Amino acid sequence: MAERDDAIINRHLAILLVAGWVLSLAACGHLGQQTVSPATSSGGRSGQDDAALAKRNEVVLFALALIDTGYRFGGKNPEAGLDCSGMVSYIFEKAIAVKLAGSAADIARVGRPIELSALQSGDLVFFNTRHQHFSHVGIYIGEGRFIHAPSTTGRVRTDSLQSGWFASRLEAARTLLD
């Protein structure tokens, strides 16, 4: 029952995030630039243009559409199931035509390191979940949350960077989007 409640909460969070982005775009007519911290917002880095922000939004919207997709170790597409690195690779290729391959650690090697305090939507967050650096990866979606494919629940979901099991295992952030 708790898993079902979590899935409902995740779906509602996704709907609210998408609705918020749509309303902000409709109200402003363009993507604004904001200062960001992982606990507050998903806006842009200073000097970032609308095209870069649009790519970030594509990544996040594509990721949110995968909530509740089944987990499968080594999975690289939603039909068969996704693992964490397969989910990230699939999203980046389909949303913005960036090809990635390999494990979470392999993906970490291609990303540019960024401070956790500089996280923006679409950036990657890495965790030490098996006493091994970069053993899990997710995509930061804003508001201190990330989306990932954890094996423990069997479904793609969102979690908090500030609380819960993953918070104490967060080790690094990387970007592929600047």
What are the residue numbers of the active site? 84, 136, 148
Strand-pairing partners, residue 82, are 71, 76
Find tokens 């109200």 and name the residue: 27
Q: How many residues does the chain have?
A: 178
Find tokens 């690779």 and name the residue: 89
Nearest-CA neighbor of 123 among 161, 167, 176? 176
What residues contact residue 14 under an 8 Å CB cut-off, 6+ apart?
A: 64, 65, 67, 158
H/E stretch holding 141 reads: strand 136-142
Answer yes or no: are the C-beta atoms of 63 and 147 closer than 8 Å: yes
